[in-house]
Amino acid sequence: MKDYNLAIIGLGGMGNWHRELINEGGWFGGVKLEGGGIEHLKVAGAFDIKKERQEFAKAHGLHAYNSMEELLADPKIDIVLVSTPNDLHKPFIIKALEAGKNAVSEKPVTLSSSDLQEMIDASKKAGKVFTVHQNRRWDEDYLTARKIYDDNLLGDIHRIESRVHGSRGIPGDWRGKPEHGGGMVLDWGVHILDQALQFPGKIKKVYASLTFITNGLVDDGFFAELTYENGMVFLAEVGTSNFIKLPRWMILGRNGSAQIDDFSVKGKIVRVTDWNKNDAIPIKTAAGLTKTMAPRTPETIKEEALPEVKSDIRDFYRNVLATIEGKETLKVTLDSVMRNMKLMEAIFRSAKSGKPESFE
Ligand code: NAD
């Protein structure tokens, strides 16, 4: 494989995450990923409108271009990553493609499906690789949920709940401003909805509401209930005023439930060992008696560890390089990104009308 040079437009928090991952190897839980950076790929340069980020680039051995035009005119650069605020992804990606570069956009790819179509058209016209950093397809909590689903560990699954909860409101930067594509649907929703779309089957119905608890201009959270063609319901929820977090994932099957607590994949599976042994000791509450809500007796259930799944986020860029060389096809396809964009649009429509939206 040939060696590739990448340049970053927008060297803020996330731009620098890419620099570290590619040139040094990433970090997880304070520990550096084994094996260092990405083979055959180097972040060679960057351009940022902030002077201090230009200085930061130089201090980390990157060439700091004086303008985006200068960066795009450099024949040494094969791939451009755009990691600016969301509203600038579309114009900068199109410019990069027109300059003959392969292009990677941070998520959300842009703010509407019609904008995305223009970006796709530009990539087709340029004949260059264009993809989106939907990195959370490599999250081990998501892959664990997928394994539970794919290996049918709980019997027929009727409900999946996927939540991310914070308690500091929406960040006070461009993420709070509609003109920059702020709001939590576009910020975190884009990840957990992308994950939801990786589960098999079409989504027939979308019913959603947005929250505006800490910010009146853009949503600071949302609930979206997605009904799949097989009847399974997927609840996607982002909250930024949750001082007590709910588990990252709950998966409910006919014969068991799974709970994944957080990104570090702690949790458990509880499965029934014998459906027919369903007698229980009723619970007496001050106001009454219930057998239905009494716990199962210990001999009829079994607690198990979650299955172990390992992933390596560097595979995102390995796939980009292999696609440029014609040896693989993109893992994050533009069709999948368009489907997600249309899902987010359906969520906004449902939240506005207060009614379910049909989808697919
Ligand atoms: P940030 O504010 O830290 O960084 C954005 C950078 O872009 C800043 O340094 C800013 O000066 C620069 N910039 C703004 N306008 C510019 C212009 N015209 N030309 C060049 N540079 C310009 O924001 P961030 O948290 O790094 O987010 C950047 C992007 O990354 C966003 O699209 C965000 O959604 C995405 N992101 C993705 C993930 C992920 O997990 N995939 C995580 C965080 C952020």
Give DSSP secondary structure letters for 57-125: HHHTT-EE-SSHHHHHT-TT--EEEE-S-GGGHHHHHHHHHHTT-EEEEPSS--SSHHHHHHHHHHHHH
- Structural domains in the chain, sorted by start: 4-133 (3.40.50.720), 137-265+306-311+342-358 (3.30.360.10)
Whole-model pTM?
A: 0.97
- Ligand 1 neighbourhood includes 195 CB (under 6 angstroms): no
The CA 204 to ligand 1 mean position distance, Å, reads 34
The CA 126 to ligand 1 mean position distance, Å, reads 25
- Ligand 1 neighbourhood includes 139 CB (under 6 angstroms): no
Atom number, ligand 1, closest to the C-alpha of residue 105: 32
pLDDT, one tens digit per residue, over 244-298 is 999 999 999 999 999 999 998 999 999 999 888 888 888 998 989 998 989 888 8
Would you say the C-alpha torsion 241, 243, 244, 248 has a positive or negative sign?
positive
Residue 53 has pLDDT above 90, yes or no: yes
| Strand ranges across the sheet with 102-105 | 63-64, 41-47, 4-9, 79-82, 102-105, 130-132
pLDDT, one tens digit per residue, over 318-355 is 999 999 999 999 999 999 999 999 999 999 999 999 99
CB 192 within 8 A of CB 97: no
Question: The tokens 């069709």 sit on which residue?
Answer: 335
Instruction: Determine the pLDDT at residue 26.
Output: 77
Atom number, ligand 1, closest to the C-alpha of residue 16: 26
The CA 48 to ligand 1 mean position distance, Å, reads 10
Residue 196 has pLDDT above 80, yes or no: yes
The CA 46 to ligand 1 mean position distance, Å, reads 13
- Ligand 1 neighbourhood includes 10 CB (under 6 angstroms): yes
Percent share of the chain, pLDDT over 70:
99
d(CA 261, CA 161): 12
The CA 331 to ligand 1 mean position distance, Å, reads 23
d(CA 274, CA 251): 20
- Ligand 1 neighbourhood includes 30 CB (under 6 angstroms): no
- Ligand 1 neighbourhood includes 217 CB (under 6 angstroms): no
- Ligand 1 neighbourhood includes 48 CB (under 6 angstroms): yes
The CA 153 to ligand 1 mean position distance, Å, reads 39
Q: What is the mean pLDDT of residues 36-53?
A: 97
- Ligand 1 neighbourhood includes 134 CB (under 6 angstroms): no
- Ligand 1 neighbourhood includes 86 CB (under 6 angstroms): yes
pLDDT, one tens digit per residue, over 163-184 is 999 999 998 899 999 999 999 9
Mutate to test the pocket of ligand 1, among 17, 48, 92, 337 (most ligand atoms within 8 A of CB): 48
Supply the residue whose CA is at minimum distance from atom 16 of ligand 1.
49
The CA 14 to ligand 1 mean position distance, Å, reads 6
The CA 298 to ligand 1 mean position distance, Å, reads 51
